[in-house]
């Protein structure tokens, strides 16, 4: 994995004096009468995975396209490693990796040929390009399909090739639009591991995805979008202090009810008709209250079979914002 992280040669994004990561201010973009993005501020730090979260039509892809220098903003400013993608798109593209939600390749070329061709576009020599292509194909588990035409790749295989293509130039900043789409469960786990390693190596990784449970496991920060606006930014480290719902399963539902009522907690209950057990859903203020409640229930002799958040942190935040979204 080290060769994948360090990549071939010195890239422009490693030059001294450049501001790291992504900084965008007041971004706006319209398509006719449709305001796709409206006055968004966005920051993605190096060494972190930043998640973009929002419903379809919220502006996620439009924002990514502007950050990737593929779409000019109507207003606002962007800096990628301190470089303006509008004023110097060539310099930005040299230090940036872009993975769209669809591959869009030369279908008659093989996976290996696609990667070596892209490497040539970045000015990487033929010998080094072949080595880089072989490394990346192994990383995304396409080594056995290296000489297979791209047109016969499945959706998941094409996604993996797209990720390899985005890494050819060892980018300092990596932008990914729905990278897990079409991947099987094993490939999703490998993707999470790889993106976490890339961020830990110092890259700024931005990922848009609808699979919030997966983002919980790898993101450091999240930006929530709705109707072209950023409605909240969140650090995943906030999980210990954020109120969230918990599900508690007990073999004695009546005892659990008495225990929760004695703590002054309101809950909804779902009995198991085959025995005296069941589950309760309750909202707690954070990890400290959860730990204290679990200790009290166990100490009272109530048989607890499971005690866990009802949903992931990002899903909890997203659902709590739905009523507030413009």
Tell me whether residue 326 is in a domain.
no
Q: Are residues 186 and 293 in the same domain?
A: no
Domain that holds residue 249: 241-321
Verify that 206 and 289 share a domain, yes or no.
Answer: no
pLDDT digits (tens, 9 = 90+) for 255-307: 999 999 999 999 999 998 677 899 999 999 888 899 999 999 999 999 999 99
Q: What is the mean pLDDT of residues 19-23?
A: 85
Q: Is position 150 within any domain?
A: yes
Same domain, 308 and 232: no
Tell me the CA distances in angstroms from 159 to 65, 165, 183, one per residue in order: 18, 10, 7
Q: Are residues 142 and 105 part of one domain?
A: yes
Q: Can you give the pLDDT at residue 234?
A: 86
pLDDT tens, residue by residue, 37-79: 999 999 999 999 999 998 888 899 999 999 999 999 999 999 9
Assigned token pair, 211: 């699979």
Burial classification of residue 202, based on how many CB atoms lie within 10 Å of its CB (0-12 exposed, 13-18 middle, 19 or more buried): middle
**Residue 86, domain CATH:** 3.40.50.300
Query: pLDDT digit string (tens) for 100-132?
Result: 887 676 788 999 999 999 999 999 999 999 999
Characterise 15 by phi-psi region: left (phi > 0), alpha (psi -120 to 50), beta (else). beta
- Nearest-10 Cα torsion for 193, 199, 202, 208: 150
Residue 303 Rama label (left phi>0; alpha psi -120 to 50; beta): beta
Last residue of a domain, one of 239, 258, 273: 239
Asked whether residue 136 falls in the same domain as residue 87, the answer is yes
- Neighbouring CB atoms inside 10 A of 172's CB total 23
- Measured distance CA(297)–CA(292) in Å, rounded: 9
Angle at 143 between CA 137 and CA 146, to 5 degrees: 85
- Please indicate, yes or no, whether residues 207 and 283 belong to a single structural domain of this protein: no
Which is more confidently placed, 136 or 238? 136
Q: Do 305 and 198 have their domain in common? A: no
Residues 100 and 129 in one domain: yes
Residues 8 and 81 occupy one common structural domain: yes
Domain count for the chain, please give it. 2
CB 263 within 8 A of CB 314: no
Domain boundary at 239, 262, 295, which?
A: 239
User: Hey, CA dihedral for 281, 285, 287, 288, is it positive or negative?
Assistant: negative
Residue 279's CATH number: 3.30.70.980
Does residue 194 sit in the same domain as residue 270? no
251 and 286 together in one domain: yes
Please report whether residue 125 resides in a domain.
yes
Other beta carbons within 10 angstroms of residue 262's beta carbon come to 10
Q: Do residues 302 and 314 share a domain?
A: yes
Count of beta carbons in the 10 Å neighbourhood of residue 325: 16
Last residue of a domain, one of 210, 239, 268: 239
Q: Which pTM value belongs to this model?
A: 0.82
């Amino acid at each position: 994995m080290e060769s994948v992280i360090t990549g071939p040669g010195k890239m422009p994004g490693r030059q001294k004096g450049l501001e790291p990561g992504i900084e965008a201010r007041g971004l706006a973009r319209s398509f006719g009468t449709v305001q796709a993005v409206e006055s968004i501020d966005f920051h993605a730090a190096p060494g972190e995975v930043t998640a973009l979260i929002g419903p379809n039509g919220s502006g996620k892809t439009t924002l990514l396209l502007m950050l990737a220098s593929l779409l000019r903003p109507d207003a606002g400013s962007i800096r990628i490693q301190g470089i303006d993608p509008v004023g110097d798109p060539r310099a930005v593209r040299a230090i940036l990796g872009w993975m769209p939600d669809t591959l869009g390749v030369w279908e008659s070329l093989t996976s290996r040929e696609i990667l070596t061709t892209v490497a040539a576009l970045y000015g990487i020599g033929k010998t080094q390009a072949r080595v880089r292509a072989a490394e990346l194909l192994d990383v995304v588990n396409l080594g056995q399909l290296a000489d297979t035409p791209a047109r016969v790749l499945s959706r998941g295989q094409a996604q993996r090739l797209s990720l390899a293509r985005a890494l050819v130039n060892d980018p300092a900043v990596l932008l990914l639009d729905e990278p897990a789409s079409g991947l099987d469960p094993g490939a999703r786990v490998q993707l999470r591991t790889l993106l976490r390693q890339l961020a830990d190596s110092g890259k700024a990784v931005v990922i848009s995805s609808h699979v919030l449970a997966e983002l919980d496991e790898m993101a450091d920060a999240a930006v929530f979008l709705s109707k072209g606006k950023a409605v909240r930014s969140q650090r995943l480290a906030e999980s210990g202090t954020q109120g969230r719902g918990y599900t508690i399963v007990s073999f004695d539902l009546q005892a659990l009810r008495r225990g929760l009522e004695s703590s002054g907690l309101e809950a909804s209950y779902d009995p198991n008709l085959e025995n005296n057990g069941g589950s309760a859903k309750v909202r707690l203020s954070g990890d400290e209250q959860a730990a204290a409640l679990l200790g009290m229930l166990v100490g009272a002799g109530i048989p607890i079979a499971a005690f866990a958040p009802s949903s992931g942190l990002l899903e909890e935040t997203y659902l709590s914002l739905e009523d507030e979204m413009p």
